[in-house]
Chains A and B, each alone.
Chain A
Amino acid sequence: MKDSLRRTLWISRVTFLEAVRQRFFAFLLVLSAAMVLSSVSLRVFDFGHGELKFIADFGFGGMFFFGSVLAVVMTAQLFFSEIDNKTALTLLAKPLSRPEFLLGKFFGAWAVLGVFVLVLASLQGVVLWAREQELIAAAEQAGRIPTTFSIVGLCQLVLLQWLRLGVVIAIVLAISSLARTFLFTVVVGSLAVVAGQLQWIAQDAFLRPTDSPAYAAFLWISTRLIPNLQQFNLADALVLGSSAVEEGALIAVCLSGLAYLVAYLTLGSLIFRQREI
């Protein structure tokens, strides 16, 4: 067990080093950071919402979108670079099992996404804090109650976003294990992310009565096969305190995310074991 963990760790380490050297990672990180920073200048387009909400929506939107793109493309690239360049041949000829290889890829990619989320969230926190100070000063002068944001909520959101991206990575790795090409994996992985964002529609439909058993079965399978990625989007509630989030609900979201993560990694490992390298 200890040896297995160690081997997984070595694969993760090299995967992480390979990923952070990619220009694609640097490009998306800079682009997302620019988006977070530009939210201050663009706050005039707040559509009547609070300024902090606009800044948070804009920044977290960038983190969500570019994080998803990074999770899908980078994970597929990291997997297929090993297969296509045949470095996997060298590694898998060693006493390294295929689940260890896949887990190593997962943890390496997840660590990169952790850096991505942490950097952006830190930047977002600084931007929100700076604007909050200005708003507090202005509100004191005007005798109004200032709008604030929660640092603890921001930290919770960072963890939730990281978990969401972990689920996306696990899905992409499961697809990669089966797929023959990088392009197929990216296309199907992207569709899976979109399906995950829209899963709540299937959930709503499933709760409504229907006469068609086939339709009910389809909805039942869809709602269980595809994770609800929208459930991780609690930025308003956690960071801006727009509504209270029960601790139990937060734990349920985390457990659901972890369950999907483990399920997709297990599925990926089972498929990858049968794959001919």
Chain B
Amino acid sequence: MHEMSITQGVVEICESTAAGRRVLSVVLEIGELSNVIPEAVEFCFEACTKDSGLEGARLTIERIPGRGLCRECAEEFAVKAYYGSCPSCGGYHVDIISGEELRVKELEVE
């Protein structure tokens, strides 16, 4: 359940950005290959924001789909998991170009 540490990181970033103002909403970007479950972050968010400047803030999570670039044939394709092979040549030498994001995108303060 490393989502608890992840969510604590979110709260720290938001509090430092908000600099004392109350945070009304937070938008996160969580890649599909990031090893983080959005539902678990939502679950932790309520606990982590209690008695903080984020208490009651609305949480929106945007998923970023995995994309890979084949090192063998330069095909770009959707990656659902790290063991996915290139649909064009079948190779496994794939560089992940998106889907590992774990970011606080924006927030709304009072």
A and B bound?
Answer: no
Q: Which B residues lie at the A interface, using CB under 8 A?
A: none
Q: Which A residues lie at the B interface, using CB under 8 A?
A: none
